Structure 1
């Protein structure tokens, strides 16, 4: 052998074969589209397989069904509308949703079969800020009913990155020093963990949208051309769940993926309809509520993300309602906590007061509901909630989820210095104090705390 010729050098014939193979695979990828739309004919009107012309509605349905695997859009043309939904091949080892399951899903979400999720829900997905940035750990969140789910997942992402991720530094710097791969690994791990907990650590169901569509002629629910395309994948191991989600992460994080809705559907199926019925009570019979044209999550959805159980209330254990019916609260200590402050809520209403199961979580991370807007408070010191001495003076970090926030807000909490009682905090009602809503939600946990914003203008 000539020593000047590299051992692994490929012959021109081998290179030609590889190039031919690559082109064949590319053509095969689009074969179905070309076949259905008769691109070789002068008549560019989409046709059915029997040669008859498609209606406009059929054209839209066919274009959505024929999207190549893993792609969010088709190339635009004069007769091919751009699909809005990421649809995968149905040749995956799952099972298609049945009409009866679709009906039960609708009833679990809305209480009836006539509602569909609005456009703000359909746009919502799990998208991080840029890697290696001040908010590399944070999801981009827009206004709408899906915000509460995104921020609840955000709390679990911070918990994972700071306290449960193996082999990495657990500090504030590590949150900002994330690569795209690390962001994706965190999202897959967190989504899998939440679904696994909802399935009582026995199984998890992941929902994806595929090409096949079930007949809607016997379906007792309002078809949105989405639920009927669901394919369900059941896993008996959390690790397998995480790997599957990671392999199909574009179905949760991609533009047009309907990622939050797909996750919510998986959450319901993982919990099972039977468990949901036991979790809920007379105060909450379904998971979503419609008010003034908007659709929002009830507390049961947030508690299911935080604890695995769809408890409809925030107090500990069980309480008697006004009609002496038994109301279901939170039964186990959550990993990520929950705090709430609403200026219109009476402090004397015991049923609305957050119990210790949510207020004092395993890890110092809290989902905050402040006047109906959701945000995150967290501390990088894991010992904060296990050593009372740590709660004298400590730092919290605040992420509002609002597009205007470009970096974390650093707050210093002092639970023993009471200089906040000065006259400049008095309001016109004579209550003696005036604080921002962020300060008020912190004081639901540390009642007499002083909050130093460290140069940031307080949020009101």
Structure 2
């Protein structure tokens, strides 16, 4: 079982979780602060998982400000969707190490400990169980993010982690539907499968490093226009969150002329949520004579990410110096 987990996550049995993964848990910011809704995120892979869970936490905090209940609901929702809303699995770990280790394999202090696997066929029962054991995902040294990742694997095997977290289906692509033919019209040997349904939480992608020679994958409308106005954003390879407090933003086109988006990047250096005012009634485009470096100075990466959803939008940071 342990070796199979490593093969699924790393592609082999020799790699193991690094320090950043091992220390990662689901830790909220100060409950008395403006960022009481916010999880503190790590750099790299753990941050991607934490920011997707953050998006689901925000979904519940739109109507409920209890941190632990919101976290339990967010974890339950992701696992339940991953289990195709039929069943899901929660993985916890004991402090007692497992004595079964294959020769030549290095212990990673987590995978080789005794895992306890709990299966559920009712979402309500799973939520109650997670809520009662929420400290297993929050406390320092609990490896909470890794435990959640294991739970996700057992709920549904990973092919593409991000889409699995967002939609419950492990599609390796972010475009809509299924592509049967290449750009020249020739049939593909293997169809490319994308996102088939709108997710509750969306996804946006932008990077200054990738130009015309290596274009970014085109995110389809299924992910750009989720059911709720919450987006996980991959900006220059780092994950963050954009969200609106107006639940009707994506269901009434008139609201998209002038609206606010809240931006949170998960890092301790951000002390307040950045509130951006978006005007989507003007046509914006950079001058073609501007160099890429000049564009980055004039237009923050967050602005460019927002424009992948609202083309031509003008973004006002309302006095905050753009920091991302």
Q: Same fold (TM over 0.5)?
A: yes
Correspondence for 1:401: 266
Paired position in structure 2 for 1:311? 171
Paired with 1:408 and 1:359, the residues of 2 have a C-alpha distance of 22
Determine whether 1:330 maps to 2:195.
Answer: yes
Tell me how far 1:326 sits from its aligned partner. Answer: 2.3
Q: How far apart, CA to CA, are the structure 2 residues paired with 1:125 and 1:301? A: 18
- State the shift of 1:401 in Å: 1.2
Question: What is the CA distance between 1:407 and its match in structure 2?
Answer: 0.8
1:201 matched to 2:54? The reply is no
Unaligned runs of at least 5 residues, structure 1: 1-100, 169-177, 281-299
Does the 8 A contact of 1:314 with 1:353 survive in 2? yes
**Equivalent residue number for residue 160 of structure 1:** 60
Partner of 1:386: 251
TM-score (norm: length of structure 2): 0.90
Q: Does the 8 Å contact 1:216/1:223 carry over to 2?
A: no
Q: Which has the larger radius of gyration?
A: 1
Deviation at 1:345, TM superposition (A): 2.5
Match of 2:228 among 353, 358, 363: 363
Contact 1:195–1:270 (8 Å) recurs in 2: yes
| Counterpart-to-counterpart distance in 1, 2:222 and 2:105 | 37
- Paired residues in the alignment total 317
Consecutive unaligned residues in structure 2, runs of 5 or more: none
What is aligned with 1:427? 290
Task: Select the structure that is richer in strand.
Answer: 2
Aligned-residue RMSD, C-alpha? 2.6
SS at match of 1:210: strand
- With CA pairs under 8 Å and 6+ residues apart, which has the higher RCO, 1 or 2? 2
Q: Distance in 2 between matches of 1:391 and 1:398?
A: 17
SS in 1 for 2:263: strand
Secondary structure, in 3 states, of the residue corresponding to 1:382? coil
Whole-Å separation in 1 of the counterparts to 2:265 and 2:50: 12
1:76-225 alignment to 2 at 5 Å? 101-162=1-62, 165=63, 178=65, 182-217=66-101, 222-225=106-109
Matches within 5 A, 1:437-456: 437-456=301-320
Q: Distance in 2 between matches of 1:231 and 1:432?
A: 51
**Aligned-partner Cα distance in 2 for 1:458–1:426:** 23
Q: How far apart are the structure 2 equivalents of 1:156 and 1:393? A: 25
TM-score (normalised: structure 1): 0.64
- After TM superposition, give the deviation of residue 214 of structure 1 in Å: 4.0
Going from structure 1 to structure 2, the CA distance change for 1:366 and 1:219 (only over 3 Å counts) comes to farther
Report if the CA contact (8 A) 1:426-1:432 is conserved: no
In the other structure, the counterpart of 2:128 is 243
* Cα distance change on mapping 1:344 and 1:240 into 2, 3 Å: same
